[in-house]
Amino acid sequence: YTFSGFTFTGDGSACCKETSCNITITGNTNITATFVRNSYPISTLTVSNGTLTCTTPVSHGDQGSCTVTPDPGYRIEGIGGSCGGTLTGNSYTTLPITAGCTVGAVFAAAPQRSVTVTASGTGAGTVYSAPAGIICPLGSCTAQFDDATVTTLSAVPDTNSTFDGWSGACSNNAGPCDLTLTEDKSVNATFSAAPNAMVSTTGHATLTQAYAGTVNGATIKARAITFIENLVLNGNHRVTLEGGFNAEYDCNSCGGNTILKGTMTIEHGSLIMENLTIR
Residue by residue, DSSP assigns 126-179 as EEEEESS--EE-SEEEEEEEETT-EEEEEEEE-TTEEEEEEEET---SSS-EEE
**pLDDT tens readout for residues 193-242:** 999 999 999 999 999 999 999 999 999 999 999 999 999 999 999 999 99
Cis peptide preceding 72, ω within 30 of 0: no
35 confidence band (pLDDT: 50, 70, 90): confident
Taking CA atoms, 201 is separated from 172, 237, 269, in Å, by: 21, 20, 23
**Selection from 139, 147, 123 nearest residue 72 by Cα:** 147
Enter the pTM of the model: 0.64
> Residue range 55-60: average pLDDT?
94
* CB contact set of 14 (below 8 Å; sequence gap of 6+): none
* CB contact set of 59 (below 8 Å; sequence gap of 6+): 37, 38, 39, 97
Are 136 and 119 in contact by the 8 Å Cβ rule? The answer is: yes
